[in-house]
Amino acid sequence: MSEAPHIPVMLNEVVEHLAPRDGGVYVDGTFGAGGYSRAILEKANCKVVGIDRDMSAIEAANDMINEFDGRLILVHGTFGDVRAHLNALGIERIDGFVLDIGVSSMQIDQAERGFSFRFDGPLDMRMDMSSGQTAQDIVMRMEEEDLANLIYKYGEERLSRRIARAIVKVRGEAPIETTEQLADIVRGCVPRSGKNAIDPATRTFQALRIAVNDELGQLEQAIESAPDILSEDGRLVIVTFHSLEDRIVKKAFQALAGKTPQTSRHLPQVAPSQDVPSFGLLSRKAVFPTDKETQTNPRARSAKLRSLIKLKEAA
């Protein structure tokens, strides 16, 4: 495992948009190494509920729980189930909800998790290793057409049919069990477009990770929960890392703020109506990391932050 520390992306911007205040209750839906949670707890005399589906992240935070003397509560689970988690804790409303969508650098750097082709490891990719199908399950069992569609939809890979065909051919001869095996198959199908281009396997690995963890479904559920769980003046802050996530957040936020109608059944059902609280956009456009941050933390390069504030309850 890498010795490099996890650096929370756009930390200053997240805290600024979340605006923690004394006595407030906040949810960090992607707790990870606790970077956002720590900053929130240090900014105000408030409470934070940290949610993570990776049990190792929860177990590693014992010292932090003790440090903040009861102001940090950790929950093992998915952020899409935030409403149920809060109900179980007896919390009706919160003052802020923050999400950093995607896999953490800690998980990527663990070869045994199978998230990255930079390290040879088992094709797992589960954020919660206690349950659910693995990337290998998908690669070995899914029908060729469905596999091609998955890689195209979640990886935005235009050569998805060629890749799926190659995977099916190889798996018919021997099991595909490791990240290195899969990456080599994809590289044999996708030409590298230039010296500084991304690895040809990147989009396929992204697609499998999203599918294994239902990342877009979790994001949609979390946004749909916002009207019910946020107090007046409560804020929803989401940091995304690729166009699929950002497209969902952008369109859903615009709908919640009454800027556009909810027109697609594939987006979170958050269209404003007389039964739904109204929201305002905290910034008209996405907020990007500073040049200084991207130089010190390359993971931040593709990050975008969008945020909402709940204005009032419906009449």
Structural domains of the chain, ranges and CATH numbers in brackets: 11-106+215-312 (3.40.50.150), 115-213 (1.10.150.170)
Q: Which pLDDT score, from 0 to 100, does residue 263 have?
A: 54
Is residue 172's pLDDT more than 70? yes
Q: What is the DSSP string of the chain?
A: ---SPP--TTHHHHHHHH---TT-EEEESS-TTSHHHHHHHHHSS-EEEEEES-HHHHHTTHHHHHHTTTSEEEEES-GGGHHHHHHHHT---EEEEEEE-S--HHHHT-GGG---TTS--BS---SSTTSS--HHHHHHHS-HHHHHHHHHHHH--TTHHHHHHHHHHHHTTS---BHHHHHHHHHTTS---STTSPPTTHHHHHHHHHHHHTHHHHHHHHHHHHHHHEEEEEEEEEEE-SHHHHHHHHHHHHHHTTSS----TTS-S----TTS-EEEESSSS-B---HHHHHH-GGGGG-EEEEEEEEE---
Over residues 71-81, the mean pLDDT reads 97
Average pLDDT, the chain: 89
pLDDT tens digit sequence for 135-157: 999 999 999 999 999 999 999 99
Q: Which residue has the higher pLDDT, 268 or 204?
A: 204
Q: Which pLDDT score, from 0 to 100, does residue 129 have?
A: 84
How large a percentage of the chain has pLDDT more than 90? Answer: 74
Is residue 192's pLDDT more than 90? no
Q: Is the pTM of this model over 0.85?
A: yes
Q: Which pLDDT score, from 0 to 100, does residue 86 have?
A: 98
Is residue 5's pLDDT more than 80? no
